[in-house]
A and B are shown apart, each in its own frame.
Chain A
Amino acid sequence: MKNKSFVSIDQCSKEEIIHLLDNAAKFEAHPNRKILEGKVVATLFFEPSTRTRLSFETAVNRLGGRIIGFQDASTSSSSKGETLKDTIKMVSNYADLIVMRHHLEGAALYASEVTNVPIINAGDGANQHPSQTMLDLYSIRKTQGTLKNLVITMVGDLKYGRTVHSLLVGMSHFNPTFHFIAPEELKMPEAQKDFCNDHQLSYTEHTDFTTDIINQTDILYMTRVQRERFTDLEEYERVKNVYILKNEMLAHSKDNLRILHPLPRINEIAQDVDNNPKAYYFQQAGNGLFARQAIICKVLGIDTL
Protein backbone atom coordinates (compact mmCIF):
# COMPACT_ATOMS: atom_id res chain seq x y z
CA MET A 1 0.00 0.00 0.00
CA LYS A 2 1.40 3.34 -1.03
CA ASN A 3 1.01 6.65 0.76
CA LYS A 4 -1.06 7.08 3.88
CA SER A 5 -4.19 5.17 2.95
CA PHE A 6 -6.42 3.89 5.74
CA VAL A 7 -7.54 0.47 4.69
CA SER A 8 -7.51 -1.89 7.64
CA ILE A 9 -7.34 -1.71 11.41
CA ASP A 10 -4.55 -4.31 11.24
CA GLN A 11 -2.21 -1.66 9.88
CA CYS A 12 -2.57 0.61 12.92
CA SER A 13 -0.07 0.54 15.73
CA LYS A 14 -1.13 1.27 19.29
CA GLU A 15 0.40 4.76 19.04
CA GLU A 16 -1.42 5.50 15.80
CA ILE A 17 -4.73 4.48 17.34
CA ILE A 18 -4.19 6.68 20.37
CA HIS A 19 -3.15 9.60 18.20
CA LEU A 20 -6.27 9.23 16.06
CA LEU A 21 -8.49 9.09 19.12
CA ASP A 22 -6.82 12.18 20.57
CA ASN A 23 -7.49 14.04 17.35
CA ALA A 24 -11.07 12.81 17.25
CA ALA A 25 -11.55 14.33 20.71
CA LYS A 26 -10.27 17.66 19.41
CA PHE A 27 -12.77 17.46 16.59
CA GLU A 28 -15.56 16.69 19.01
CA ALA A 29 -14.71 19.93 20.78
CA HIS A 30 -14.56 21.86 17.48
CA PRO A 31 -16.04 19.95 14.54
CA ASN A 32 -16.31 22.95 12.24
CA ARG A 33 -12.93 24.01 10.88
CA LYS A 34 -11.60 25.18 7.56
CA ILE A 35 -8.72 22.73 7.27
CA LEU A 36 -10.02 21.03 4.12
CA GLU A 37 -10.60 24.27 2.27
CA GLY A 38 -9.63 23.82 -1.37
CA LYS A 39 -9.72 20.04 -1.10
CA VAL A 40 -11.98 17.78 -3.13
CA VAL A 41 -12.96 14.45 -1.61
CA ALA A 42 -14.49 11.71 -3.74
CA THR A 43 -16.98 9.40 -2.02
CA LEU A 44 -17.18 6.32 -4.22
CA PHE A 45 -19.87 4.06 -2.86
CA PHE A 46 -20.03 1.11 -5.22
CA GLU A 47 -22.26 -0.46 -2.63
CA PRO A 48 -24.84 1.79 -1.02
CA SER A 49 -24.59 2.80 2.61
CA THR A 50 -26.49 5.74 3.88
CA ARG A 51 -25.08 6.02 7.40
CA THR A 52 -21.41 5.69 6.61
CA ARG A 53 -21.62 7.85 3.53
CA LEU A 54 -23.50 10.65 5.28
CA SER A 55 -21.04 10.48 8.17
CA PHE A 56 -18.03 10.87 5.86
CA GLU A 57 -19.71 13.57 3.81
CA THR A 58 -20.61 15.52 6.93
CA ALA A 59 -17.04 15.15 8.14
CA VAL A 60 -15.75 16.70 4.91
CA ASN A 61 -18.40 19.40 4.83
CA ARG A 62 -17.75 20.53 8.37
CA LEU A 63 -14.05 20.79 7.58
CA GLY A 64 -14.65 23.04 4.58
CA GLY A 65 -13.97 20.50 1.84
CA ARG A 66 -16.02 19.70 -1.26
CA ILE A 67 -17.46 16.35 -2.27
CA ILE A 68 -17.88 14.54 -5.56
CA GLY A 69 -18.83 10.93 -6.09
CA PHE A 70 -21.53 8.35 -6.54
CA GLN A 71 -23.73 6.39 -4.18
CA ASP A 72 -24.31 3.14 -6.02
CA ALA A 73 -22.39 1.18 -8.63
CA SER A 74 -25.28 1.20 -11.04
CA THR A 75 -24.87 4.93 -11.55
CA SER A 76 -21.12 4.65 -12.08
CA SER A 77 -19.13 3.46 -15.06
CA SER A 78 -18.74 0.07 -13.33
CA SER A 79 -22.11 -0.71 -14.83
CA LYS A 80 -20.48 -0.31 -18.25
CA GLY A 81 -17.83 -2.83 -17.24
CA GLU A 82 -15.05 -0.41 -16.32
CA THR A 83 -12.48 -2.02 -14.04
CA LEU A 84 -12.01 -0.74 -10.51
CA LYS A 85 -8.46 0.24 -11.40
CA ASP A 86 -9.61 2.45 -14.28
CA THR A 87 -12.29 4.09 -12.17
CA ILE A 88 -9.82 4.86 -9.41
CA LYS A 89 -7.23 6.22 -11.83
CA MET A 90 -9.84 8.42 -13.46
CA VAL A 91 -11.13 9.81 -10.18
CA SER A 92 -7.55 10.40 -9.02
CA ASN A 93 -7.39 13.17 -11.59
CA TYR A 94 -10.05 15.07 -9.71
CA ALA A 95 -9.84 14.30 -6.02
CA ASP A 96 -7.34 14.80 -3.21
CA LEU A 97 -8.81 11.90 -1.26
CA ILE A 98 -11.01 8.91 -2.07
CA VAL A 99 -13.43 7.34 0.40
CA MET A 100 -14.72 4.09 -0.99
CA ARG A 101 -17.10 1.30 -0.13
CA HIS A 102 -17.13 -1.80 -2.32
CA HIS A 103 -18.78 -5.19 -2.09
CA LEU A 104 -15.59 -7.09 -2.94
CA GLU A 105 -12.99 -7.90 -0.31
CA GLY A 106 -9.59 -6.34 -0.81
CA ALA A 107 -10.97 -3.66 -3.14
CA ALA A 108 -9.77 -0.74 -1.02
CA LEU A 109 -6.31 -2.21 -0.58
CA TYR A 110 -6.05 -2.75 -4.33
CA ALA A 111 -7.23 0.78 -4.97
CA SER A 112 -4.51 2.12 -2.69
CA GLU A 113 -1.95 0.30 -4.83
CA VAL A 114 -3.04 1.77 -8.13
CA THR A 115 -3.07 5.44 -7.19
CA ASN A 116 -1.12 8.00 -5.20
CA VAL A 117 -4.31 9.58 -3.93
CA PRO A 118 -4.98 8.34 -0.38
CA ILE A 119 -7.81 5.85 0.01
CA ILE A 120 -10.05 5.49 3.04
CA ASN A 121 -11.81 2.15 3.21
CA ALA A 122 -15.47 2.67 4.11
CA GLY A 123 -16.11 -1.04 3.98
CA ASP A 124 -14.99 -3.82 1.66
CA GLY A 125 -17.33 -6.79 1.64
CA ALA A 126 -17.11 -8.85 4.80
CA ASN A 127 -13.49 -7.83 5.30
CA GLN A 128 -12.74 -4.48 6.92
CA HIS A 129 -14.60 -1.39 8.08
CA PRO A 130 -11.84 0.40 9.96
CA SER A 131 -13.61 3.71 10.51
CA GLN A 132 -16.31 1.80 12.37
CA THR A 133 -13.64 0.29 14.57
CA MET A 134 -12.16 3.72 15.25
CA LEU A 135 -15.50 5.11 16.29
CA ASP A 136 -16.10 2.06 18.47
CA LEU A 137 -12.72 2.59 20.15
CA TYR A 138 -13.43 6.28 20.56
CA SER A 139 -16.78 5.50 22.17
CA ILE A 140 -15.21 2.99 24.51
CA ARG A 141 -12.45 5.35 25.57
CA LYS A 142 -14.83 8.23 25.99
CA THR A 143 -17.31 6.36 28.15
CA GLN A 144 -14.79 4.39 30.20
CA GLY A 145 -12.11 7.05 30.49
CA THR A 146 -9.56 4.54 29.23
CA LEU A 147 -9.11 1.65 26.80
CA LYS A 148 -7.04 -0.43 29.19
CA ASN A 149 -8.00 -3.53 31.13
CA LEU A 150 -11.67 -3.49 30.24
CA VAL A 151 -14.17 -6.34 30.24
CA ILE A 152 -15.74 -6.41 26.79
CA THR A 153 -18.70 -8.67 26.10
CA MET A 154 -19.63 -9.31 22.49
CA VAL A 155 -23.04 -10.77 21.78
CA GLY A 156 -24.81 -12.14 18.71
CA ASP A 157 -23.34 -13.00 15.35
CA LEU A 158 -19.68 -13.40 16.13
CA LYS A 159 -18.98 -15.56 13.11
CA TYR A 160 -19.87 -13.13 10.36
CA GLY A 161 -19.65 -9.91 12.34
CA ARG A 162 -17.04 -7.79 10.62
CA THR A 163 -17.23 -5.10 13.27
CA VAL A 164 -16.68 -7.63 16.03
CA HIS A 165 -13.58 -9.09 14.38
CA SER A 166 -12.11 -5.66 13.81
CA LEU A 167 -12.86 -4.54 17.33
CA LEU A 168 -10.90 -7.54 18.59
CA VAL A 169 -7.89 -6.35 16.65
CA GLY A 170 -8.32 -2.72 17.68
CA MET A 171 -8.63 -3.59 21.36
CA SER A 172 -5.77 -6.10 21.31
CA HIS A 173 -3.27 -3.39 22.24
CA PHE A 174 -4.98 -2.58 25.53
CA ASN A 175 -5.16 -5.77 27.62
CA PRO A 176 -8.89 -6.50 27.42
CA THR A 177 -10.81 -9.44 28.84
CA PHE A 178 -13.39 -10.76 26.39
CA HIS A 179 -16.63 -12.64 26.79
CA PHE A 180 -18.06 -14.06 23.60
CA ILE A 181 -21.77 -14.84 23.73
CA ALA A 182 -23.22 -16.45 20.64
CA PRO A 183 -25.28 -19.39 19.43
CA GLU A 184 -23.21 -22.43 18.50
CA GLU A 185 -23.68 -21.80 14.76
CA LEU A 186 -22.45 -18.24 15.01
CA LYS A 187 -19.65 -18.53 17.51
CA MET A 188 -16.35 -16.70 17.17
CA PRO A 189 -14.29 -18.37 14.44
CA GLU A 190 -11.03 -20.21 15.10
CA ALA A 191 -9.01 -17.58 13.27
CA GLN A 192 -10.13 -14.92 15.72
CA LYS A 193 -9.54 -17.18 18.73
CA ASP A 194 -6.07 -17.94 17.38
CA PHE A 195 -5.50 -14.21 17.16
CA CYS A 196 -6.47 -13.86 20.83
CA ASN A 197 -4.14 -16.69 21.80
CA ASP A 198 -1.28 -15.26 19.77
CA HIS A 199 -1.71 -11.90 21.51
CA GLN A 200 -2.33 -13.27 25.00
CA LEU A 201 -5.87 -11.92 25.13
CA SER A 202 -8.07 -13.74 27.58
CA TYR A 203 -11.55 -14.75 26.44
CA THR A 204 -14.39 -16.99 27.54
CA GLU A 205 -17.09 -18.38 25.28
CA HIS A 206 -20.72 -18.75 26.29
CA THR A 207 -23.96 -19.72 24.62
CA ASP A 208 -26.14 -18.23 27.36
CA PHE A 209 -26.71 -14.51 27.65
CA THR A 210 -26.86 -14.13 31.40
CA THR A 211 -27.00 -11.25 33.84
CA ASP A 212 -23.96 -12.80 35.54
CA ILE A 213 -21.79 -11.80 32.62
CA ILE A 214 -23.55 -8.48 32.08
CA ASN A 215 -22.81 -7.57 35.69
CA GLN A 216 -19.07 -8.04 35.14
CA THR A 217 -19.03 -6.11 31.89
CA ASP A 218 -17.75 -2.63 31.06
CA ILE A 219 -18.69 -2.60 27.37
CA LEU A 220 -21.59 -4.64 26.03
CA TYR A 221 -21.30 -4.85 22.24
CA MET A 222 -24.53 -6.15 20.70
CA THR A 223 -24.91 -7.45 17.16
CA ARG A 224 -27.84 -8.94 15.32
CA VAL A 225 -28.46 -12.64 14.91
CA GLN A 226 -29.81 -13.02 11.37
CA ARG A 227 -31.96 -15.91 10.23
CA GLU A 228 -30.17 -15.97 6.84
CA ARG A 229 -26.89 -16.91 8.52
CA PHE A 230 -28.17 -20.17 9.91
CA THR A 231 -27.86 -23.44 8.02
CA ASP A 232 -30.00 -25.15 10.67
CA LEU A 233 -33.21 -23.15 10.83
CA GLU A 234 -34.47 -25.13 13.80
CA GLU A 235 -31.52 -23.84 15.74
CA TYR A 236 -32.39 -20.33 14.68
CA GLU A 237 -35.92 -20.76 15.99
CA ARG A 238 -34.55 -22.06 19.29
CA VAL A 239 -32.11 -19.22 19.83
CA LYS A 240 -33.70 -16.24 18.14
CA ASN A 241 -34.88 -14.71 21.39
CA VAL A 242 -31.92 -15.63 23.53
CA TYR A 243 -29.57 -12.90 22.40
CA ILE A 244 -31.89 -10.01 23.04
CA LEU A 245 -31.07 -7.35 25.57
CA LYS A 246 -33.94 -6.15 27.71
CA ASN A 247 -33.84 -3.33 30.19
CA GLU A 248 -34.47 -5.56 33.21
CA MET A 249 -31.24 -7.43 32.44
CA LEU A 250 -29.30 -4.29 33.28
CA ALA A 251 -30.67 -3.96 36.82
CA HIS A 252 -27.42 -4.87 38.57
CA SER A 253 -24.93 -3.88 35.92
CA LYS A 254 -21.95 -1.66 36.67
CA ASP A 255 -22.50 2.08 36.63
CA ASN A 256 -19.93 2.51 33.91
CA LEU A 257 -21.44 -0.16 31.65
CA ARG A 258 -22.31 1.10 28.19
CA ILE A 259 -24.21 -0.66 25.44
CA LEU A 260 -22.81 -0.37 21.93
CA HIS A 261 -24.24 -1.58 18.62
CA PRO A 262 -22.92 -0.92 15.12
CA LEU A 263 -26.54 -0.39 13.90
CA PRO A 264 -29.01 -0.88 12.42
CA ARG A 265 -30.63 -2.23 15.56
CA ILE A 266 -33.64 -4.45 14.90
CA ASN A 267 -34.96 -6.45 17.85
CA GLU A 268 -31.74 -7.50 19.57
CA ILE A 269 -31.90 -4.47 21.83
CA ALA A 270 -35.42 -4.02 23.17
CA GLN A 271 -36.97 -0.59 22.81
CA ASP A 272 -37.18 -0.25 26.60
CA VAL A 273 -33.38 -0.10 26.77
CA ASP A 274 -33.26 3.16 24.82
CA ASN A 275 -34.21 5.24 27.85
CA ASN A 276 -31.60 3.63 30.05
CA PRO A 277 -28.67 6.04 30.43
CA LYS A 278 -26.34 3.15 29.71
CA ALA A 279 -27.64 2.90 26.15
CA TYR A 280 -24.94 4.49 24.05
CA TYR A 281 -25.55 3.26 20.51
CA PHE A 282 -26.87 6.48 19.05
CA GLN A 283 -24.11 8.60 20.54
CA GLN A 284 -21.73 5.94 19.27
CA ALA A 285 -22.94 6.59 15.72
CA GLY A 286 -22.54 10.31 16.33
CA ASN A 287 -18.92 9.77 17.31
CA GLY A 288 -18.41 8.48 13.80
CA LEU A 289 -18.23 12.05 12.61
CA PHE A 290 -15.25 12.92 14.80
CA ALA A 291 -13.45 9.64 14.22
CA ARG A 292 -13.78 10.11 10.46
CA GLN A 293 -12.59 13.69 10.62
CA ALA A 294 -9.49 12.44 12.43
CA ILE A 295 -8.93 9.72 9.84
CA ILE A 296 -9.31 12.17 6.95
CA CYS A 297 -6.71 14.48 8.46
CA LYS A 298 -4.33 11.62 9.10
CA VAL A 299 -4.38 10.37 5.51
CA LEU A 300 -3.96 13.88 4.16
CA GLY A 301 -1.05 14.53 6.48
CA ILE A 302 -2.84 17.38 8.23
CA ASP A 303 -1.70 17.48 11.80
CA THR A 304 -1.90 21.10 12.89
CA LEU A 305 -4.89 20.75 15.20
Chain B
Amino acid sequence: MSKTKELQVAALENGTAIDHIPADQLFKVADLLGLSKLNNLITIGYNLRSKKMGRKGMIKIADKFFEDDEISRIALVAPKAILNVIRDYEVVEKKPVTLPNEIKGLVKCNNPKCITNNEPMATSFHVVDKTRGVIKCHYCGRIIEKDEIIIK
Protein backbone atom coordinates (compact mmCIF):
# COMPACT_ATOMS: atom_id res chain seq x y z
CA MET B 1 0.00 0.00 0.00
CA SER B 2 1.18 3.54 -0.76
CA LYS B 3 1.73 6.03 2.03
CA THR B 4 -1.18 8.18 0.89
CA LYS B 5 -3.53 5.22 0.93
CA GLU B 6 -2.43 4.12 4.37
CA LEU B 7 -3.25 7.57 5.62
CA GLN B 8 -6.69 7.35 3.98
CA VAL B 9 -7.53 4.14 5.75
CA ALA B 10 -6.07 5.16 9.08
CA ALA B 11 -7.92 8.48 8.99
CA LEU B 12 -10.87 6.80 10.67
CA GLU B 13 -10.73 6.88 14.45
CA ASN B 14 -13.15 3.99 14.80
CA GLY B 15 -15.06 2.23 12.11
CA THR B 16 -14.82 0.05 9.07
CA ALA B 17 -12.98 0.55 5.81
CA ILE B 18 -13.79 -1.70 2.90
CA ASP B 19 -11.06 -1.83 0.32
CA HIS B 20 -10.54 -3.47 -3.11
CA ILE B 21 -14.09 -3.06 -4.30
CA PRO B 22 -14.20 -3.37 -8.10
CA ALA B 23 -14.94 0.13 -9.33
CA ASP B 24 -17.99 -0.95 -11.32
CA GLN B 25 -19.54 -2.60 -8.24
CA LEU B 26 -18.97 0.26 -5.82
CA PHE B 27 -22.47 1.64 -5.82
CA LYS B 28 -24.03 -1.78 -5.67
CA VAL B 29 -21.96 -2.45 -2.55
CA ALA B 30 -23.15 0.84 -1.06
CA ASP B 31 -26.72 -0.24 -1.76
CA LEU B 32 -26.23 -3.67 -0.25
CA LEU B 33 -24.85 -2.21 2.93
CA GLY B 34 -27.75 0.21 3.18
CA LEU B 35 -25.39 3.16 3.45
CA SER B 36 -27.96 5.72 2.37
CA LYS B 37 -29.96 4.93 5.48
CA LEU B 38 -27.08 5.52 7.88
CA ASN B 39 -26.29 8.75 9.70
CA ASN B 40 -22.62 7.88 10.15
CA LEU B 41 -19.84 9.79 8.46
CA ILE B 42 -19.11 7.92 5.25
CA THR B 43 -16.37 8.49 2.74
CA ILE B 44 -16.67 6.88 -0.66
CA GLY B 45 -13.74 6.67 -3.00
CA TYR B 46 -14.42 5.85 -6.65
CA ASN B 47 -11.96 5.12 -9.45
CA LEU B 48 -9.00 5.05 -7.13
CA ARG B 49 -5.93 3.67 -8.78
CA SER B 50 -4.97 0.17 -7.77
CA LYS B 51 -1.98 -1.95 -8.69
CA LYS B 52 -4.04 -5.07 -8.23
CA MET B 53 -7.22 -4.07 -10.00
CA GLY B 54 -6.56 -1.02 -12.15
CA ARG B 55 -9.47 0.99 -10.76
CA LYS B 56 -11.13 0.34 -7.45
CA GLY B 57 -13.56 1.72 -4.97
CA MET B 58 -13.28 2.14 -1.22
CA ILE B 59 -15.80 2.88 1.49
CA LYS B 60 -15.02 4.14 4.98
CA ILE B 61 -17.77 4.27 7.56
CA ALA B 62 -17.08 5.91 10.90
CA ASP B 63 -18.28 4.24 14.07
CA LYS B 64 -19.85 1.33 12.28
CA PHE B 65 -18.91 -2.29 12.65
CA PHE B 66 -20.51 -4.99 10.58
CA GLU B 67 -21.65 -8.49 11.47
CA ASP B 68 -20.30 -11.32 9.33
CA ASP B 69 -23.62 -11.90 7.66
CA GLU B 70 -23.98 -8.22 6.78
CA ILE B 71 -20.59 -8.29 5.12
CA SER B 72 -21.08 -11.56 3.30
CA ARG B 73 -23.86 -9.87 1.34
CA ILE B 74 -21.31 -7.90 -0.62
CA ALA B 75 -19.16 -10.95 -1.31
CA LEU B 76 -21.23 -11.72 -4.39
CA VAL B 77 -20.35 -8.54 -6.19
CA ALA B 78 -16.99 -7.84 -4.56
CA PRO B 79 -15.46 -11.23 -3.79
CA LYS B 80 -11.96 -9.85 -3.27
CA ALA B 81 -12.92 -6.96 -1.02
CA ILE B 82 -11.00 -6.59 2.22
CA LEU B 83 -12.57 -5.44 5.43
CA ASN B 84 -10.44 -3.30 7.77
CA VAL B 85 -11.72 -2.90 11.31
CA ILE B 86 -10.32 0.26 12.80
CA ARG B 87 -10.13 1.22 16.42
CA ASP B 88 -8.17 4.16 17.78
CA TYR B 89 -6.79 4.91 14.34
CA GLU B 90 -5.30 1.41 14.12
CA VAL B 91 -6.29 -1.37 11.75
CA VAL B 92 -6.98 -4.03 14.35
CA GLU B 93 -8.43 -6.58 12.00
CA LYS B 94 -8.11 -7.17 8.29
CA LYS B 95 -10.20 -9.85 6.71
CA PRO B 96 -11.39 -10.80 3.26
CA VAL B 97 -15.13 -10.99 2.65
CA THR B 98 -16.38 -14.53 2.39
CA LEU B 99 -19.22 -15.72 0.24
CA PRO B 100 -21.76 -17.73 2.15
CA ASN B 101 -23.16 -20.95 0.66
CA GLU B 102 -26.72 -19.64 0.69
CA ILE B 103 -28.06 -16.17 0.03
CA LYS B 104 -31.48 -15.39 1.39
CA GLY B 105 -33.65 -12.43 0.59
CA LEU B 106 -31.13 -10.25 -1.19
CA VAL B 107 -31.19 -11.14 -4.81
CA LYS B 108 -34.15 -11.18 -7.17
CA CYS B 109 -34.67 -14.20 -9.39
CA ASN B 110 -34.66 -13.05 -12.99
CA ASN B 111 -37.07 -15.78 -14.07
CA PRO B 112 -40.48 -14.11 -14.32
CA LYS B 113 -42.12 -17.51 -13.90
CA CYS B 114 -40.36 -18.24 -10.64
CA ILE B 115 -42.71 -18.59 -7.68
CA THR B 116 -40.62 -16.00 -5.82
CA ASN B 117 -41.70 -13.31 -8.27
CA ASN B 118 -45.35 -14.13 -7.88
CA GLU B 119 -45.83 -14.81 -4.17
CA PRO B 120 -45.03 -12.71 -1.10
CA MET B 121 -41.98 -14.71 -0.06
CA ALA B 122 -38.23 -14.47 0.38
CA THR B 123 -35.84 -15.54 -2.35
CA SER B 124 -33.15 -18.07 -1.69
CA PHE B 125 -30.06 -18.87 -3.73
CA HIS B 126 -27.34 -21.47 -3.55
CA VAL B 127 -23.85 -20.31 -4.45
CA VAL B 128 -22.62 -22.80 -7.03
CA ASP B 129 -19.34 -21.13 -8.01
CA LYS B 130 -17.73 -18.88 -5.44
CA THR B 131 -14.90 -17.66 -7.65
CA ARG B 132 -17.12 -16.68 -10.57
CA GLY B 133 -20.02 -15.54 -8.39
CA VAL B 134 -22.57 -17.88 -9.96
CA ILE B 135 -25.75 -18.54 -8.01
CA LYS B 136 -28.75 -20.79 -8.49
CA CYS B 137 -32.32 -20.12 -7.43
CA HIS B 138 -33.37 -22.62 -4.77
CA TYR B 139 -36.92 -22.68 -6.13
CA CYS B 140 -36.82 -22.65 -9.91
CA GLY B 141 -33.23 -23.71 -10.53
CA ARG B 142 -32.37 -20.66 -12.67
CA ILE B 143 -28.63 -20.05 -12.82
CA ILE B 144 -27.59 -16.43 -12.52
CA GLU B 145 -24.14 -15.15 -13.39
CA LYS B 146 -22.56 -12.39 -11.37
CA ASP B 147 -23.29 -9.72 -13.99
CA GLU B 148 -26.96 -10.55 -14.14
CA ILE B 149 -27.56 -10.35 -10.41
CA ILE B 150 -30.35 -7.99 -9.45
CA ILE B 151 -30.35 -6.83 -5.86
CA LYS B 152 -33.85 -6.40 -4.50
**A residues neighboring B (CB under 8 Å):** 83-85, 102-107, 109-110, 124-127, 191
> CA of A104 to CA of B119 in the docked complex: distance in angstroms?
10
Q: Please encode chain B, from 124 to 144, with 1 for each CB lying within 8 Å of some chain A CB and 0 for all others.
A: 000000000000011111110
- Closest A-chain residue to B123, C-beta based? A106
Q: Of B111, B138, B143, which contacts A109 at CB under 8 A?
A: B138
CA of A105 to CA of B139 in the docked complex: distance in angstroms? 7
In the complex, the answer to whether A127 meets B121 with C-beta atoms within 8 Å is no
Q: Are B143 and A104 interface neighbours, CB within 8 A? A: no
The answer for the CA separation of A109 and B138 in the assembled complex, in Å, is 9
The reply to whether A106 and B120 contact each other, CB–CB distance below 8 Å, is: no
Instruction: Say whether B114 faces chain A, with CB atoms less than 8 Å apart.
Output: yes
Contact B113 A126 (CB under 8 A): yes
**Most central of B114, B121, B140 by chain A CB within 10 Å:** B140
Q: Is there an interface contact between A104 and B114, defined as CB atoms closer than 8 Å?
A: yes
Q: Could you pull out 27 A-B pairs where Cβ atoms are within 8 angstroms?
A: A84-B115, A84-B119, A85-B120, A102-B115, A103-B113, A104-B113, A104-B115, A104-B118, A105-B111, A105-B113, A105-B115, A105-B142, A106-B115, A106-B137, A106-B138, A106-B139, A106-B140, A109-B138, A109-B139, A110-B115, A110-B119, A110-B139, A125-B113, A125-B140, A127-B140, A127-B141, A191-B143
Minimum Cβ distance to chain B for residue A90 (Å): 15
A191 smallest CB distance to B (angstroms): 7
Contacts A84-B119, A105-B140, A127-B140 given; 10 further ones with Cβ under 8 A?
A103-B113, A104-B118, A104-B119, A105-B114, A106-B115, A106-B140, A109-B115, A109-B139, A125-B113, A127-B141
Residues of B within 8 A of A125 (CB): 113, 140
The 6 closest A-B pairs by CB, nearest first: A106-B139, A105-B140, A106-B115, A106-B140, A104-B115, A107-B115
Contact B143 A106 (CB under 8 A): no
* Closest Cβ–Cβ distance, residue B27 to chain A (whole Å): 30
